[in-house]
Structure 1
Amino acid sequence: MAGTKDKNTIAGVFQGTSRGFGFVTPEGGTDRDGDYFIPPRATGGAWHGDKVTIVPDRADPFDGDRRSARIVSVLERANKTVTGTLRRFERELWLQPDSDKLPGPIKLTGKSRGLHSGEKAAVEVQSYGGGGKPPLGALRETFGKAGTREAAAAAILYNYEIDREFPVNVLEQAEAAAETVPAEALAGRLDLRGRCVITIDGASAKDLDDAVSLERDASGRWVLGVHIADVSHYVAEKSPLDLEAWERGTSVYFADQVIPMLPVELSNGICSLNPQVDRLALTCLMTMSEGGEVLGHSVHKSVIRTTERMTYEDCNLLLADSLPEEAVLRTQKRALEERYAHILPMLRDMAVLAKALEKRRRLRGSLDLDTSESYIICDEQGRPVDIRTRRQGESEALIESFMLCANETVAQHLFEREKPGVYRVHEKPSADKAEGLKTMLEPFGYTFQEADNFTLQKILEDAGTKPEAPIISTMVLRSLMKARYDTQNLGHFGLAAKYYCHFTSPIRRYPDLMVHRILSRVIEDGERQGKAPWEKRMAVMAQKAAVQSSEREIAAQNAEREIEKLYMAEYMSGHIGEELTGAVSGVTKFGLFIMLPSGVEGLLPAEALPGDKWHYDEKRMTLRGEHTGRVFSFGMALEVVCVQADPGSGQIDFRLAGEGELPVIAPREKRHELPIAPDFVRGKPRTKAGGRRARPPRHKAGRGGGRKR
């Protein structure tokens, strides 16, 4: 149903639960204490995520009693499509939703020939039910057998509108791109083919979009060159390639797979800065002092020819201060030193300059958060066989420092010339987030008055190498605001940068491509005074790109996170019964989230804790036993045993090790294994409400085929 607000109603977003009741967060509200409780029979047909209007039951809550309300209208539906498992009841097919917050099952309309019970599928909701009638939906996609990692991953990608395949017209345009740089394309470009320019990437990387160089000028000052693939030369505005890149916004990475923003014919071909071939680039040349201060800069359309294609692994070995202990590595290092003798002096100078740049960032307040990350190793069949932790080496830090410096310099270049731009902004933590961090840090003995850069960095430094250091870093990270894109230069809190944009990855991020287009116009205009005719139009495009790219970045991150949970669960399914060391990474009233050193995270349900009545303290993130006084808190180290892992849902469950005989943990509800409730099928409404937000299907018109710091 739909409706409009009046003076007696409050607008907000409905947050459903699996038990039928829910909460409404008023518009603009951030504090949970300001939510309204919605009883099971007062949801008004709303589903989780819907924008609704409510009428409060009473103006003020009684002491200790949460204020309640009833939903009177649904203003905007959040769940346009729903994924789940097909179930047949008598002669009809129903979709049992993946989310236990949804009121389903959803009755399928139209033909069902060829469809089978137990398949994972997506439906477009045609009716949200009510009045004794069930929700109705039309089948849009099937993904394979429910309960498998492959089907679950495909459903997640569908939910977030991430397409593996490109439309035909996009592929045709990509395949038509030149494989080499023609002579006419060099006109007006700065020719840097005679300079020593190198790329440094992971060994498996194929889309090499950034290269670096370093030399001294006549005055003995450093001249750092950051050379970025000129993707804008090959992706024309409003072309099929551009429209598809806009839709995608970013490349998506998970386990051993990548879903690129641009077809591989471009990303791995003419736009990749492959060794010893001509490539078009945008170059930022920065003249620097010994201490890393940027004394001057210039931005050019250029042509380069990279000298070497280096890997992080080789560079880290080359830059090691001493010979490794292992004989094999010593032999390997000597071979690398001989192989790269012509660039080794420059590489060592780069390491010195990178350390100077890092020191400058630290002194101005840049936060040094734990940069380790988990990555999944898959076999030839794509099955997860190991999960490892990747830590930043010297060459990774080197490239990061140079890219950060270029991003800041380009952002300042655009800002000072009052040109349109797409900035990467990161604002100071909100008062609520700062207060929450203060409460969580108190048990560890850390206090502060204001969550500014230097205060947070001091906390990170004080934690140092203490056992709780990773947890402290996680707490600080979670307290920060979400970085996003904006056309206003609001600075970057985490980096303590006054100017910041994304310039260095146009192959995999649309904002970088947008910045390249603007820079190219600025370069072509030269020293033109005043506003150029293109600026107004480009400012509008930049604003749209900032909004779209922020949304698609969040979608990609969510999809990556959810899919990697599937891989981790599949990996852990081979480790059932093993005793493992972990730490509490989250505390809720229903249990503890436990994270292993590998990055695998699972739930230790409250009912599996030693016999007691457990009280949840939301602010301090603890569970306290009423009778024993035992406390489980955020960051606590625990020995656990993995008791179940479901690749179809990504759910992993633990129990405590060494606690004697504990109750067997009941498997968490898997809706694809549940039968359809006969009373609902016969038309009797159920009281559950809520559901996961799903993006509506993309408009296909004019797409030429196909579906998606």
Structure 2
Amino acid sequence: MSLQGIYQASSKGFGFFTPEGAEGRESDLFVPPRCDGGAWNGDKVSAVIRPDPKDPDRQTAVVTAVLERRNRTVIGAVERRGREVWVQPSSDRLPHAVKVVGRTSSIRPGDKIAVSMSSFGSAKLPPMGTLKAAFGRDGTRSASVEAILYQYGIERDFPAPVRAAAELAPSAVEPAALEGRLDLRGGTVITIDGASSKDFDDAVSLERDGDGNWVLGVHIADVSHYVTEGSPLDLEAFHRGTSVYFADQVVPMLPEALSNGICSLNPQVDRLALSCIMTMDGHGAMLGHKLAKTVIRSTERMTYEDCNLLLEDQSPELAARYAHILPMLRDMAGLARTLEKKRRARGALDLESRECYIVCDADGLPVDIRVRESGTSERLIESFMLAANECVAEHLQKAALPAVYRVHEKPSADKATNLKAMLAPLGFALREADNGSLQKVLDAARGTPQAPAIHTMVLRSLMKARYDVQNLGHFGLAAKYYCHFTSPIRRYPDLMVHRILTALLDGTLGEGRSAGALSAAAQRAAVQSSERELAAMSAEREIEKCYMAEFMSAHVGETFPGAVSGVTRFGLFVALANGVEGLLPVTALPDDRYEYDEVRMTLTGSRTKLTYSFGMPLEVLCAAANAGSGQIDFTLPGVEGAAPRAIPAAAPKRQTRTKAKRPSGKPAYRPPKREKGRKKR
């Protein structure tokens, strides 16, 4: 029987074949050594299925043809073999060194480069490729960062036409742009961002109407006014899809001349905005809303740090300085709490998530890794942005307009079944994988030693949030309508939503283009933005591993408390309190033969019966850290073969998770990431 699917290589010479349409790892078939048919990791192949000669009850796959090559670019270290230049792939899942043909005078042994594959080799010829880019010395964090960006198609520099278009943007709002806009410059409007933020794409206001109801204004920079459809700026923003953030750097979606200039809601200057003005009663129920093209003038540029001090009455100096807005801030905090309770009551999941961030010195070197604390002002902005996103999505849906929605579907049947199986040994029963049942499990685990493991299990059981032109709702938020409206400076879907709203407000929807063409544009934006978001998240994760490894290289030989974050046949992944994760190989565990239980996610010693499980507290010693690869290796402190030292918190008897591998992607759904110190879903 011949099937098509994906070949997954290992570093050991064998591999696995995943048939098309397969769900879960249980469908993978073993590919014995020398049966890969010349396939490389990730290639689409055809294979025949045969019984294993050593085990008639087991089937194996033999690759018969490579249908589609996936490794068009290979990144690795330069080696010189006589007069020839070769590149040894960084990934140990790629099988061969690649001969570099063409011009090589600009590179030297030990450089990290990328080559474009021209041939994948044969029985007589080696794989060959041409030099595409050089990143610096292999093994350094800086070279790895540039290589990762290149691998995911993330470009630091903007093309010349895009830079030229950005420079033509005005430095101030032109009088003609005010025509037809609602003038809100007389009101009190503020921005609240991190202290280091330079672009401010959202501002908020709050007042009472004549009936005593709340009037909440969420005012978003009108980026679409300056980034017109089909322009070089628009095409580049579509190509990038999103800004990319890591450590102390950002690769922006739009040039800084725009994002930090005319599109930033800087204080005490006129700025164009799209405003979502919502009227709510004292219980946070929506009584009405208005979407409008506006002009605003931010009263104050506030920071989270200052706002938190003000709201906690910890700074008389700040209270005097901001006396004119302090009452509004306190009202905002109260309304935000009401909205948060309302979301919880309808079933929004309250997943505890600790976000860590890397602190760099003036030279860009990582000097600390800290847990970002979410204070009252961060939650305030989070609540208001969520309210605006929901309001705009509902408006678009009920107007039957094309749109780009942010969707998050309920867990699949397979994911729900796996989660139930993991929770049962821990004493947590899950009847259905719905919002209420999942939250009951989270609430029951809160405050227990199992809580971090339970939260991680639930988080990884959820589907991946994505963009779609169909309004499928947002499971994690328990929201019937949801889109991204609040960050057009850094996300293309928000820009697309603004463009559609502007056409609606101007009365030009359908002029010069059909509804079908607009729907097609929205569909392209949804697909492209989902793909680029995934690339950005993957790059951010891999880059931050390099920074963390560089930070930990100064702490080799030191011990740290942590917890098991992954269980595999070859060892344990252990996460420290600051978010650093490293491998504790099975060879570093007390001398024994360990049996791996894939269902319960445990390693158990055959002789000692010592069991290591997901979420188990451990104290580990940092044995090695490689900034170039991002790899961190742990051992157990003490004499070789000694049992681990216990952490004060009691370890649960059994912890489980579904897939036994190092987490290789951000969770399918997670609480909103705080870009520049802020949560945004």
Give, in whole Å, the separation in 2 of the partners of 1:150 and 1:66. Answer: 46
1:260 maps onto 2:252 in alignment? yes
- Aligned partners of 1:276 and 1:483: how far apart in 2? 37
Q: Please name the residue that 2:44 is paired with.
A: 51
Q: Residue in 2 aligned with 1:338?
A: 320
Whole-Å separation in 1 of the counterparts to 2:125 and 2:36 = 16
- In the aligned structure 1, how far is the partner of 2:597 from the partner of 2:324? 61
The answer on whether the counterparts of 1:249 and 1:553 sit within 8 Å (CA) in structure 2 is yes
Q: State the SS of the aligned residue for 1:208.
A: coil
Q: How far 1:368 sits from its partner (Å)?
A: 0.7
Q: Deviations over 1:74-112 (max 9, x none)?
A: 221111101000000111010100000001200111122
1:563, CA displacement in angstroms?
A: 0.4
Partner SS state of residue 612, structure 2: strand
Equivalent of residue 635 in structure 1, options 615, 618, 633:
615
> Deviation digits for residues 142-162 of structure 1, max 9, x if unmatched?
111111000011100000011
Secondary structure in 2 matching 1:573: helix
DSSP 3-state at the match of 1:349: helix
1:637-656 C-alpha deviation (Å, 9 max, x unpaired): 00110000000100000011
User: In structure 2, what is the equivalent of residue 689 of structure 1?
Assistant: none
How far has the Cα of 1:444 moved from its partner?
2.6
Please name the residue that 2:310 is paired with.
Answer: 318
Give me the TM-score of the superposition, normalised by structure 2: 0.93
Q: Across the two proteins, how many residue pairs are aligned to each other?
A: 646
Q: How many angstroms does 1:534 deviate by?
A: 4.1
**Any residues of structure 2 matched to 1:428-439 within 5 Å, and which?**
428-439=410-421
Query: Contact conserved, 2:52 with 2:60, CA < 8 A, in 1?
Result: no
User: Deviation digits for residues 601-635 of structure 1, max 9, x if unmatched?
Assistant: 00000111101111111221111111111110000
Matched letter for residue 393 of structure 1: G
4+ runs deviating over 3 angstroms: 58-63, 530-534, 658-663
Q: 1:560 aligns with which of 535, 540, 543?
A: 540
CA–CA separation in structure 1 for the residues paired with 2:241 and 2:168 = 22
Where do 5+ consecutive residues of structure 1 fail to align? Answer: 1-7, 324-329, 664-691, 694-708
The CA deviation at 1:658 is: 3.4
User: Displacement, 1:294?
Assistant: 1.0
Letter in 2 for 1:224: L
Give distance in 2, aligned partners of 1:32 and 1:56: 17
For 1:215 and 1:371, locate their aligned partners in 2 and report how far apart those are by CA, in whole Å: 32
Specify the alignment match of 2:439 in structure 1. Answer: 457
Within 5 A, what are the aligned runs for 1:119-518?
119-320=111-312, 323=313, 330=314, 333-518=315-500
Displacement of 1:61 in angstroms is 11
Q: Identify the structure with bigger relative contact order (alpha carbons < 8 Å, sequence gap 6+).
A: 1
Aligned counterparts of 1:66 and 1:397: Cα–Cα separation in 2:
53
Is the alpha carbon distance of 1:343 and 1:636 closer, same or farther for their aligned partners in structure 2, counting shifts above 3 Å? same
The aligned residue for residue 551 of structure 1 is: 531
Which of 548, 573, 577 matches 1:597?
Answer: 577
Match of 1:105 among 97, 101, 113: 97
Deviations 1:401-460, CA, capped at 9 Å, x for gaps: 000010011000000010000000001111222222223223332121211111111111
CA distance in 2, matches of 1:135, 1:216: 70
Q: Partner residue of 1:42?
A: 35
**Measured at CA, do residues 448 and 593 of structure 1 come closer, stay the same or move farther in structure 2, by a change above 3 Å?**
same
Query: How many Å separate the matches in 2 of 1:168 and 1:492?
Result: 39
Alpha-carbon distance in structure 2 between the residues aligned to 1:556 and 1:607:
35
More moved, 72-81 vs 553-562: 72-81
Amino acid at match of 1:121: I
Residue 461 of structure 1: how far off its partner (Å): 1.1
Q: By how many angstroms is 1:172 displaced? A: 0.8
- CA positional deviation for 1:132: 3.5
Shift of 1:62: 6.1
- How far residue 58 of structure 1 moved from its aligned partner, in angstroms, is 4.1
- Structure 2: how far apart are the matches of 1:319 and 1:534? 50
Shift of 1:199: 0.4
Q: Secondary structure, in 3 states, of the residue corresponding to 1:282?
A: strand
Change (3 A) 1:564 1:305: same
Question: Partners of 2:418 and 2:365 in 1: how far apart?
Answer: 39
Is the contact made by 1:61 and 1:67 (CA closer than 8 Å) also made in structure 2?
A: no
Q: Which of 10, 16, 29 is matched with 2:9 structurally?
A: 16
Among 53, 58, 71, the alignment partner of 2:63 is 71
Q: Is the 8 A contact 1:14 1:24 kept in 2?
A: yes
CA shift digits 1:192-227 (9 cap, x unpaired): 111111100000001100000111111111111100
Q: Which residue of 1 aligns with 2:566?
A: 586
Any idea what SS the aligned residue of 2:130 has? Answer: strand
**Aligned residue type for 1:496:** A
> What TM-score comes out, normalization by structure 1 length?
0.89
Secondary structure (helix, strand or coil) at the match of 2:554 reads coil
Counterpart position of 1:622: 602
Asked if 2 retains the 8 angstrom alpha-carbon contact of 1:376 and 1:387, the reply is yes
CA contact (8 A) 2:51 2:58 kept: no
Q: Aligned-pair distance for 1:467?
A: 2.7
C-alpha offsets along residues 170-194 of structure 1, whole Å, 9 cap, x if unaligned? Answer: 1111011000001110001111111
Where does the alignment leave 5 or more consecutive residues of structure 2 unmatched?
A: 644-663, 666-680
Change (3 A) 1:556 1:66: farther
SS state of the match for residue 600, structure 2?
Answer: coil
| Contact 2:356/2:371 (8 A) holds in 1 | yes
1:540 matched residue in structure 2: 520
Do the aligned residues in 1 keep the contact of 2:40 with 2:95 (CA within 8 Å)? yes
Report the Cα distance in structure 2 between the residues aligned to 1:364 and 1:431, rounded to whole angstroms. 23
With over 3 angstroms needed to count, the CA separation of the structure-2 counterparts of 1:281 and 1:481, relative to structure 1, is: same
Residue 452 of structure 2 aligns to a residue whose secondary structure is helix
Residue 330 of structure 2: SS of its match in structure 1? helix
Match of 1:302, SS? strand
Looking at structure 1, the residues matched to 595 and 522 of structure 2 have their Cα atoms a distance apart, in angstroms, of 49
1: CA distance, partners of 2:466 / 2:236: 21
Q: How far apart in 2 are the matches of 1:367 and 1:644? A: 38
Aligned to 1:650: 630
Give the equivalent residue in structure 2 for 1:606.
586
Q: What one-letter code is carried by the residue in structure 2 that aligns with 1:488?
A: Q
Q: Secondary structure at the match of 1:57?
A: strand
Please name the residue that 2:677 is paired with.
Answer: none
**SS class of match (1:300):** strand
Equivalent of 1:570 in 534, 544, 550: 550
After superposition, the CA RMSD in angstroms is 1.9
Q: Are the structure 2 counterparts of residues 607 and 283 from structure 1 closer, same or farther at C-alpha, using a change threshold of 3 Å?
A: same
Measured in 1, the distance between the counterparts of 2:196 and 2:457 equals 33
Q: Find the counterpart in structure 2 of residue 666 from structure 1.
A: none
Between the aligned partners of 1:543 and 1:381, the Cα distance in structure 2 is 42
Task: Indicate the residue corresponding to 2:653 in structure 1.
Answer: none
Deviation for aligned residue 1:362? 0.4
Name the CA distance, whole Å, in 1 between partners of 2:583 and 2:124: 36
